[in-house]
Structure 1
Amino acid sequence: MYPTRPRSALRTAVVWEVVRAALEQRAAELDQPVLDVLDTGGGTGNFAVPVARLGHRVTVVDPSPDALFALERRAAEAGVTDLVRAVQGDTQTLPDLVPAGSVDAVLCHGVLEVVDDPAEALGSLAGTLRKGGLVSLLAANRNGAVLARALAGHFAEARTVLDAPEGRWGAGDPMPRRFTGEELGRLAADAGLRVQSVHGVRVFADLVPGVLVDTEPGAQEALLQLERAASEQPAFHAVATQLHVLAALL
């Protein structure tokens, strides 16, 4: 089961499969079928609800009350209301919302790009983990943005992304910050985390015209299989739209 509808699964399947396998392995290591999972910035429950459907307890911390209302509705529809807790807040207020050393895994997807201080935010998240706990970190890829701007014909913007401190192509760039794999690795290490795996996400899904995927018989499944295979190849990480890092607390 994917955490989104089939068309959107092209963009989320790689992350979901890594997360699901990691949670399964961690539960087996602890001989504990139910894990405590924190989803920061989890919004409407795109990942939180599927994780709850695996039987785990999930706390979603998000600043948007509207998103949390949608999360509660989605959890109710999925029959996992008792496993999902919605809390309004952000990484800055996290120490007051989630006790230190109280969770087995943290989902941090699309958060480091928008916080004021990524290092501080990741440190706060790591502080909620029990020893050996997991962090699923998904962030925008600087190098992938270079390729995307170049293919769109915006060559000067592509060049700007290469050198800009935060990986932005200009004042009109809606993404506050992007990272390279090396930068994410350093952030993880500084937070006391050991990187276990790195995957490229949306290597091809954002480059292939949607009409090809939606109209060609078997194209969606074939593209999904290609995404899975390429995600594990370091050579393709540079062109992915996002990078997914799985790490564990030392």
Structure 2
Amino acid sequence: MSDPLRPRASLRTTVVWEVLREALDRRAKAAGRDVLEVLDTGGGSGKFAVPIAELGHRVTVVDPSPNALFALERRAAEADVADRVQGVQGDAHGLFDVVERGRYDAVLCHRVLEYVDDPAESVRNAADALRPSGTLSLLAAGLGGAVLARALAGHFTEAHQVLTDPAGHWGAGDPLTRRFTADQLSAFVTDAGLDVTAVHGVRVFADLVPGVLVDTEPGAMDALLRLEAAAAELPAFHSVATQLHVLAERD
């Protein structure tokens, strides 16, 4: 099995991957099946889809980018899971133009809400794609982490703009349309008829630590990973996380 947690990338994915893998294990046991049907909306080149397929599950990836889907096909072939991964061109707004409602045991909605016109609709669509019992994994940019990052970089006006803008947008050069608090994401989930089971802060420290320290100091990478994992579930750190991960279920 390929390892999705490579040194630098691991700082960005470890917490989410570990939580997601455990959630899929629980869902499989609850369903009494070894193989789950998983939908990854905005799944791109398969950062999560391919490792999930390596666990034995079937994954459908919906993404608007033909280039991303081509990269997904290549990555799945290299991991020898091409028969368990299907790429479909589409987006969260028109999700049911390309996939069926109520078909999936688990749905991933990672790094989608920052770009769509109606985040609440995208979460509702993700929830509606679930079977009567299912798991939703929601990952989005955190507002507080952006404020802290801009301030520490000396961009105080931009930090203030993130803090006061309703969408958490810091200006014309901002690559993201919006950012969220943990309460906002949880509200989207509950309004879609799901129960929030866990909230995690992602990249609480990783984006603030100088890369040269992590890359050159012996043991620094492992120690930072342990620190990230320890802080992820503590609500006190959710407000400064670069990303927020919400796990929800319908049972």
Q: Give 1:16's aligned residue.
A: 17
Q: Which residue of 2 aligns with 1:181?
A: 182
Q: Which whole-Å deviations, capped at 9, do the CAs of 1:3-25 have from their partners, x for residues lacking one?
A: 24222111100000000000001
Structure 1 partner of 2:7: 6
Q: Check conservation: 1:41, 1:110, Cα contact below 8 A.
A: yes
Q: Which amino acid aligns with 2:216?
A: T
| Residue number in structure 2 paired with 1:154 | 155
Counterpart Cα distance in 2 of 1:18 and 1:58: 18
Query: TM-score, normalised to structure 1's length?
Result: 0.98
In 2, are the aligned partners of 1:4 and 1:46 still within 8 Å (CA)? no
User: 2:62: which partner in 1?
Assistant: 61
Which runs of 5 or more structure 2 residues have no equivalent in the other structure? none
1:74 aligns with 2:88: no
Q: Is the 8 A contact 1:200 1:232 kept in 2?
A: yes
**Distance in structure 1 (CA, Å) of the matches to 2:179 and 2:8:** 25
The aligned residue for residue 169 of structure 2 is: 168
CA distance in 1, matches of 2:65, 2:250: 28
- Where does residue 132 of structure 1 map in the other structure? 133
Q: Distance in 1 between matches of 2:214 and 2:80?
A: 32
Aligned-residue RMSD, C-alpha: 1.0
Q: Match of 2:224?
A: 223
Deviation string, structure 1 residues 59-114 (Cα, Å, up to 9, x no partner): 00001111101101110110101100010110122112111110000111100010
Residue-pair matches, total? 250
Q: Aligned to 2:159, what secondary structure does the other structure show?
A: helix
Q: Which runs of 5+ in 1 are unaligned?
A: none
Q: Is the 8 A contact 1:149 1:155 kept in 2?
A: yes
How far, CA to CA, are the matches of 1:189 and 1:58 in structure 2?
25
Tell me the CA shift for residue 169 of structure 1: 1.2
Work out the CA distance in 2 between the residues paired with 1:38 and 1:228.
26
Aligned to 2:53: 52
- Cα distance in 1, alignment partners of residues 176 and 211 from structure 2: 23
1:249 positional shift:
2.5
Deviation at 1:158, TM superposition (A): 1.1
Q: Which amino acid aligns with 1:230?
A: A
The CA distance in 1 between the partners of 2:41 and 2:112, in whole Å, is: 8
Percentage of pairs with the same residue: 67
1:145-167 per-residue CA deviation (whole Å, 9 max, x = no partner) reads: 11111111111211111111100
Residue 179 of structure 1 aligns to a residue whose secondary structure is: coil
Measured in 1, the distance between the counterparts of 2:158 and 2:70 equals 38
Q: Map Cα deviations across residues 31-55 of structure 1 (whole Å, 9 max, x no partner).
A: 1110000001101000000000000
